[in-house]
C-alpha cells in the first residue's frame, strides 16, 4: 500500500507543477506510455529544465521508475476499511475458537490485540486514500481552471492576429501547447479519480 500512496502523491505533485508551469507536460517529468503495456509509466527520464525548476518532484518521479502512473481500481480497493473490519472480526473468531480448546483464555487477548492493530492500520490507510482522492479532485479542478484561463488568453491573441507578427504567432503556438499539456493532465487525473470511485 505504501507504494500506491507514493504513486498518488507523486502524481499530485506533478499535477501542481504542470498547473503552475503548463509549458511542462507529463513527459517532462518522465511519464511516458510503455510500448508493451500501453500504460503510462514513470521512466526516470526527466527533462533537465523540469529537474532544475522542480527538483523535489523530479526526485519523487525518479524514485518510482518502472511503476505505473495510475493506481488501478483493484489496488485502491485492496486497502479499504472493510478489510480492516474483516481482520478484526476474523481475529475475534480465532480467539473464540482458541478458547474452546482451553488455551484460548491465555492467547485470546494477544489475538484480539493483533486484530485491533491491523484494524487501526487499515483505518489509517483508508484515511490516506480518502485524503489523496480529495487532493486529486482539487488538482483536477485547478487544471481545468488553468486551462480555461489559457484558453481565454489564446482567444484574445487570435483576435489580435490581424497584426500577424512572428512574436504573436509564437505566443499562440505556446498557448496551444500549454492547453494540450493541461488536457493530457486532466485526462490522467480523471482516470485516476474514476479508479477511486470504482474501488469504493
Residue of 21, 22, 20 whose CA lies nearest to 177: 22
Whether 110 is covered by a domain: the verdict is no
Whether 28 is covered by a domain: the verdict is yes
Whether 170 is covered by a domain: the verdict is yes
CB 58 within 8 A of CB 50: yes
* Residue 170 or 66, more confident: 66
Full domain range(s) for residue 38 = 2-79+126-199
Please tell me the predicted confidence (pLDDT) of residue 1: 56
Strand ranges for the chain from DSSP E: 31-33, 40-42
**Measured between alpha carbons, how far is 181 from 72 in angstroms, rounded to an integer?**
23
**Measured between alpha carbons, how far is 159 from 154 in angstroms, rounded to an integer?**
9
**Measured between alpha carbons, how far is 116 from 113 in angstroms, rounded to an integer?**
5
19-to-39, 85, 110, 183 alpha-carbon distances in Å = 22, 39, 50, 11
Q: How confident is the model at residue 40 (pLDDT cuts 50, 70, 90)?
A: very high
* Residue 62 or 197, more confident: 62
User: 172-177: which pairs have CB atoms within 8 A and are 24 or more residues apart?
Assistant: 174/23, 175/150, 177/23
How many domains does the chain fold into?
1
CB 86 within 8 A of CB 77: no
CB 28 within 8 A of CB 50: yes
Whether 10 is covered by a domain: the verdict is yes
Please tell me the predicted confidence (pLDDT) of residue 93: 43
* Residue 187 or 107, more confident: 187
Q: What is the pLDDT of residues 103-148, one digit of tens each?
A: 444 444 444 554 556 656 777 777 888 888 889 999 999 999 999 9
* Residue 173 or 77, more confident: 173
Query: What is residue 79's DSSP assignment?
Result: T
User: If you average pLDDT over every residue of the chain, what do you get?
Assistant: 79
Please tell me the predicted confidence (pLDDT) of residue 163: 59
Whether 108 is covered by a domain: the verdict is no
Whether 134 is covered by a domain: the verdict is yes
C-alpha cell of residue 26 = 507529463
C-alpha cell of residue 123 = 483505518
Whether 149 is covered by a domain: the verdict is yes
Please tell me the predicted confidence (pLDDT) of residue 110: 45
Whether 90 is covered by a domain: the verdict is no
Amino acid at each position: 500500500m505504501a507504494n500506491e500512496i507514493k504513486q498518488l502523491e507523486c502524481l499530485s505533485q506533478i499535477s501542481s507543477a504542470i498547473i503552475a508551469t503548463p509549458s511542462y507536460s507529463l513527459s517532462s517529468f518522465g511519464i511516458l506510455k510503455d510500448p508493451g503495456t500501453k500504460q503510462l509509466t514513470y521512466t526516470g527520464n526527466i527533462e533537465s529544465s523540469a529537474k532544475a525548476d522542480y527538483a523535489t518532484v523530479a526526485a519523487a518521479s525518479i524514485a518510482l521508475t518502472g511503476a505505473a502512473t495510475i493506481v488501478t481500481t483493484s489496488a485502491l480497493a485492496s486497502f479499504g476499511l472493510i478489510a480492516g473490519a474483516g481482520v478484526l472480526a476474523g481475529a475475534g473468531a480465532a480467539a473464540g475458537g482458541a478458547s474452546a480448546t482451553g488455551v484460548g483464555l491465555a492467547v485470546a487477548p494477544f489475538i484480539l490485540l493483533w486484530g485491533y492493530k491491523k484494524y487501526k492500520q487499515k483505518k489509517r490507510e483508508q484515511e490516506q486514500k480518502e485524503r489523496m482522492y480529495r487532493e486529486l479532485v482539487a488538482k483536477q479542478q485547478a487544471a481545468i481552471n488553468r486551462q480555461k484561463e489559457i484558453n481565454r488568453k489564446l482567444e484574445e491573441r487570435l483576435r489580435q492576429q490581424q497584426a500577424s507578427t512572428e512574436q504573436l504567432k509564437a505566443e499562440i503556438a505556446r498557448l496551444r501547447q500549454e492547453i494540450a499539456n493541461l488536457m493530457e493532465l486532466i485526462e490522467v487525473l480523471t482516470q485516476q479519480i474514476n479508479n477511486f470511485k470504482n474501488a469504493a
